[in-house]
């Protein structure tokens, strides 16, 4: 049994349940939260110290692979800040590590996506920080649509259909998009991903699917079929 250390801004029972639905055997999560409820700059700044503490804790716990999530926190220091967190995590884990942003970029690239639409639960201002990060990483966002929330607990209460509605709006605004990106693991969009892909004919890379894909690939564990094209590539 492989152990994945997950460092997350907000612990959601739904997120953990979705992990075990997508990876039914072969791996388990060891979760540490760095406690970001309000999506505000001052919370992001304080979060990096708590990420370091969580990395220390999970290194002592002896996990096999490390994942650091929280797009907005990582974006707040740009590509260089993300790279520093990634390097720190990789030093502490025997089988490797990823950040969610690294996994998203690699996942999109693996599917041949360089021009994407984005649907998010965040505000437009927060979306812009993600768009800039992706642009610096070679992913152009052609159109974006957002719910407009500024709180992780509120995002966790959104129904999956909000994800489909925002995805539909973003993809209709960007007919040239090769794929769709959906940030935030607390946004419960997993149930609607297969329908989005079937309706619009493009792959979806969401937060949860991206880092699960990266971890499963590194650890040699298999996802359940039907959780989206990205994870299905591990079954080919």
- pLDDT > 90? residue 44: no
Query: Please, what is the angle between helix 207-219 and helix 100-110, to 10°?
Result: 80
The predicted structure's pLDDT at residue 37:
72
35: left (phi over 0), alpha (psi -120 to 50) or beta: left
Instruction: For residue range 123-172, list pLDDT tens digits in order.
Output: 999 999 999 999 999 999 999 999 999 999 999 999 999 999 999 999 99
- On the CB side of 183, how many CA atoms lie within 13 Å of its CA? 36
The predicted structure's pLDDT at residue 46:
86
CATH top-level class for 2-102+208-235? alpha beta
The first and second tokens of residue 35, run together, are: 């406690």
Residue 209's nearest CA partner among 41, 229, 62, 222 is 229
pTM (2 d.p.): 0.96
- CA 106 to chain CA mean position, Å: 12
Instruction: For residue range 193-227, list pLDDT tens digits in order.
Output: 999 999 999 999 999 999 999 999 999 999 999 99
Rounded Cα distance, 48 and 52, in Å? 6
* CATH number of this structure's domain 105-205, picked from the four choices 3.40.190.10, 3.10.20.340, 3.10.150.10, 3.40.50.12500: 3.40.50.12500
Rounded Cα distance, 59 and 51, in Å? 12
Rounded Cα distance, 212 and 73, in Å? 19
- On the CB side of 84, how many CA atoms lie within 13 Å of its CA? 12
The predicted structure's pLDDT at residue 41:
78
The predicted structure's pLDDT at residue 36:
75
The predicted structure's pLDDT at residue 14:
87
Query: What's the mean pLDDT when you consider all of the chain?
Result: 95
Residues of the chain within CATH 3.40.50.12500 domain(s) are 2-102+208-235, 105-205
Rounded Cα distance, 47 and 70, in Å? 10
Query: Please, what is the angle between helix 124-136 and helix 78-91, to 10°?
Result: 70
Residue 118's nearest CA partner among 189, 67, 51, 177 is 177
Rounded Cα distance, 23 and 13, in Å? 15
What CA–CA distances, in Å, run from 225 to 5, 21, 113, 119? 23, 10, 22, 24
Instruction: For residue range 93-120, list pLDDT tens digits in order.
Output: 999 999 999 999 999 999 999 999 999 9
The predicted structure's pLDDT at residue 64:
97
144: left (phi over 0), alpha (psi -120 to 50) or beta: beta
- pLDDT > 90? residue 55: yes
Query: Binning pLDDT at 50, 70 and 90, where does residue 29 land?
Result: very high
What CA–CA distances, in Å, run from 205 to 39, 107, 141, 182? 22, 7, 13, 6
């Amino acid at each position: 049994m492989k152990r994945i250390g997950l460092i997350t801004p907000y612990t959601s029972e739904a997120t953990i349940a979705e992990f075990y639905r997508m990876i039914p055997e072969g791996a388990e999560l060891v979760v540490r939260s760095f406690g970001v409820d309000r999506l505000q700059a001052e919370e992001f700044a304080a979060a990096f110290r708590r990420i370091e503490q969580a990395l220390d804790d999970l290194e002592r716990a002896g996990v096999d692979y490390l994942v650091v999530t929280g797009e907005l926190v990582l974006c707040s220091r740009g590509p260089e800040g993300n790279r520093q967190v990634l390097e720190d995590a990789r030093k502490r884990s025997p089988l490797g590590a990823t950040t969610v942003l690294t996994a998203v970029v690699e996942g999109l690239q693996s599917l041949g996506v360089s021009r994407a639409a984005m649907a998010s639960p965040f505000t437009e201002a927060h979306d812009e920080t993600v768009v800039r990060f992706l642009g610096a990483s070679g992913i152009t966002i052609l159109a974006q649509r957002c719910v407009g929330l500024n709180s992780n607990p509120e995002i966790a209460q959104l129904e999956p259909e909000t994800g489909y509605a925002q995805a539909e709006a973003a993809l209709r605004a960007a007919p040239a998009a090769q794929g769709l990106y959906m940030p935030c693991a607390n946004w419960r969009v997993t149930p609607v991903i297969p329908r989005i892909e079937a309706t619009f004919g493009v792959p979806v890379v969401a937060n949860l699917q991206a880092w699960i894909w990266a971890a499963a690939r590194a650890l040699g564990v298999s996802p359940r079929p039907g959780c989206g094209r990205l994870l299905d590539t591990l079954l080919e």
